[in-house]
C-alpha cells in the first residue's frame, strides 16, 4: 500500500514537470521560427518574391523547426489534461483540446504550403513569380499563420486560463495575463506583425513557473 502511494506521488510530480519541459521546448522553437519568418518574409503577401532566394536558408530552418514545436505542443496538451484529471471540466476541456489541435493543424498546413511554394520556386522561379500561384500561396500562408492559427491560440489561452483558475494549476495573475494577451491576439492579429509572439511567450512563462514549482515540491 505504501509503495503504491509513493508511486502515485512520483507520477504526479513527473506529469507537470514533463508538461513544463514540453511547453518550454515548444515556446523556444516557435519563437525562433516566428522571428526568422518575420525578419525574412515581407508582411504584405503582394510583395515581390525576392525573399525566396535571399532568405531561403532562414525560412527553411524556420519550417524545419515547426514540426518539432508542434510535437512538443501536443505533448504539452496531453500532460496538462493528465494534470487536470478528475477536475477537468467537460465544456472547457473540449474547447481547450479542440482549439489546441486546430492551432497545430493550421501551423502544419501553413508550413506545408510555404514549403511547397519554395520547392516550386526552385523548379520554375520565373514562371512562379509571374503567375497567380505565388500570390495565392502567399495569401494562404499569411491567413493561416496570422489570422486563423493565432485566433485558435487565443481560444486555447482563454480555456487554459479558465481551467487553471478552477483547479489552481498556476497563479491567478498568470491567468489574467493570459486573458489579456488572448484578447490582444483576437483583436490585433494580422495587424501587428509581432503580436503572434505573445502566445509562445505566455506559454514559456507558465511552463517555467510549473517546472520551478515542481522542483521546489520535490526538494521539500
Write the pLDDT tens digit of every residue in 135-191.
888 889 989 988 999 999 999 999 989 888 887 777 889 999 999 999 999 998 877
At residue 14, the pLDDT reads: 53
pLDDT at 2 over 50: no
Q: What is the pLDDT of residue 219?
A: 59
Residue 191: the pLDDT is 79
**SS3 at position 29:** helix
pLDDT, residue 54, reads 75
Give residue 5's pLDDT: 45
User: What does the alpha-carbon distance between residue 186 and residue 121 come to, in Å, rounded to a whole number?
Assistant: 33
Mean pLDDT throughout 189-212? 87
Distance, in Å, from the CA atom of 148 to the CA atom of 143, rounded to the nearest integer, reads 6
**What integer pLDDT is reported at residue 6 of this predicted model?**
40
Residue pLDDT, tens place only, 23-81: 999 999 999 999 998 888 877 777 766 777 778 889 999 999 999 999 999 988 887 77
Write down how long the chain is: 220
Question: Using CB atoms within 10 A of its CB, is residue 28 exposed (0-12), middle (13-18) or buried (19+)?
Answer: middle
What pLDDT score does 73 carry? 94
Q: pLDDT tier at 8 (50, 70, 90 boundaries)?
A: very low
Separation between Cα atoms, residue 149 and residue 63, nearest integer Å:
15
Give the integer Cα–Cα distance in Å for 107 and 124: 26
Q: What number is the average pLDDT over the span 107-123? A: 89
For residue 83, what is its C-alpha cell? 494534470
State whether the Cα torsion 8-13-14-15 is positive or negative: positive
Helix ranges restricted to H, 51-148: 51-54, 56-84, 90-123, 125-130, 132-142
Q: How confident is the model at residue 11 (pLDDT cuts 50, 70, 90)?
A: very low
Amino acid at each position: 500500500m505504501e509503495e503504491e502511494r509513493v508511486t502515485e506521488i512520483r507520477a504526479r510530480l513527473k506529469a507537470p514537470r514533463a508538461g513544463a519541459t514540453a511547453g518550454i521546448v515548444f515556446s523556444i522553437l516557435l519563437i525562433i521560427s516566428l522571428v526568422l519568418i518575420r525578419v525574412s518574409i515581407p508582411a504584405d503577401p503582394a510583395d515581390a518574391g525576392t525573399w525566396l532566394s535571399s532568405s531561403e536558408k532562414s525560412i527553411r530552418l524556420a519550417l524545419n523547426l515547426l514540426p518539432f514545436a508542434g510535437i512538443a505542443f501536443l505533448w504539452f496538451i496531453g500532460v496538462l489534461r493528465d494534470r487536470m484529471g478528475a477536475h477537468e471540466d467537460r465544456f472547457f476541456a473540449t474547447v481547450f483540446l479542440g482549439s489546441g489541435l486546430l492551432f497545430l493543424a493550421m501551423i502544419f498546413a501553413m508550413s506545408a504550403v510555404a514549403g511547397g511554394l519554395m520547392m516550386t520556386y526552385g523548379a520554375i522561379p520565373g514562371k512562379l513569380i509571374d503567375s497567380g500561384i505565388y500570390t495565392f500561396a502567399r495569401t494562404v500562408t499569411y491567413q493561416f499563420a496570422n489570422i486563423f492559427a493565432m485566433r485558435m491560440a487565443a481560444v486555447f489561452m482563454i480555456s487554459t486560463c479558465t481551467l487553471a483558475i478552477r483547479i489552481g494549476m498556476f497563479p491567478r495573475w498568470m491567468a489574467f495575463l493570459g486573458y489579456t494577451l488572448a484578447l490582444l491576439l483576437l483583436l490585433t492579429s494580422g495587424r501587428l506583425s509581432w503580436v503572434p509572439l505573445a502566445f509562445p511567450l505566455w506559454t514559456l512563462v507558465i511552463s517555467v513557473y510549473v517546472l520551478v514549482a515542481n522542483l521546489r515540491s520535490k526538494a521539500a
